[in-house]
Amino acid sequence: MRPKNIKLTLYLAAPLFSKSELDYNFKLAAKLQKYFNIFLPQRDGGLMLQYIKSGMSVQEASRVVFDIDIDAIDKSDVVLAILDGRTVDEGVAVEVGYAYAKKIPCIGFQTDPRRLLPVGNNPMVTNVLEVIFQDEKSLLSWAASGCGFRRTSPDSPLDDFRVSDCNTLSSK
């Protein structure tokens, strides 16, 4: 278990294009904030349309959003990917792929039963995830347990990450 006074940083990778997506992301981040320092791209990095409205070109806005989000992933201890939708959001797929390549643990959350493939999600997404939670209660129980996280001080790297230590997991 991680010490109670040390919060890890969680990057919340989620679709953020509709009002309902934006609202849900804020609500989930608020619930997880008790257990993690949350980087929520729509809040902490900004949205491309906001940058364009402020006078940036599309190319400049695109680069700013990309650079901010990549930097935030690099500084995160874990990435939580929201997988809901018929297919996984393209941005979320890139974010978890990048995090996986950087050896940052990735967790999935999928409440939506729709899948593009008849056998589930694209294996290139599924297999970068340590676990996929299928309901909010299990996700929050996992977050509250500190399951699998080991950190000795706020500045030390994660010593260990084993999702399998947790009893509240859903299967992929």
**How sure is the predictor about 9, in pLDDT bands with cuts at 50, 70 and 90?**
very high
Q: State percent of the chain over pLDDT 70.
A: 82
Residue boundaries of the structural domains of the chain: 8-165
pTM for the complete prediction? 0.84
Query: 32-41, 61-70, 110-119 — which is least confidently predicted?
Result: 110-119
Report which secondary-structure segment, H or E, holds 153: none
Which of 3-7, 34-38, 45-49, 102-106 shows the lowest per-residue confidence on average (mean pLDDT)? 3-7
Residue from 169, 77, 171, 167 nearest 126 by CA: 171
Residues 6+ apart with CB under 8 A from 111: 84, 134, 135, 136
pLDDT category at 26 given cuts 50, 70, 90 is very high
- pLDDT, one tens digit per residue, over 96-112 is 999 999 999 999 999 98
- Output the CA angle 136-24-83, nearest 5 degrees: 65
CATH class for domain 8-165?
alpha beta
Confidence (pLDDT) at 116? 74
151 token code pair? 């950190």
The average pLDDT across 79-89 equals 92
* Residue located via tokens 């509250």: 144
- Is the pLDDT assigned to residue 146 strictly greater than 50? yes
Which region among 47-51, 84-88, 93-97 has the lowest average model confidence (pLDDT)? Answer: 84-88
62: amino acid identity, one letter: S
Average pLDDT along the chain: 84
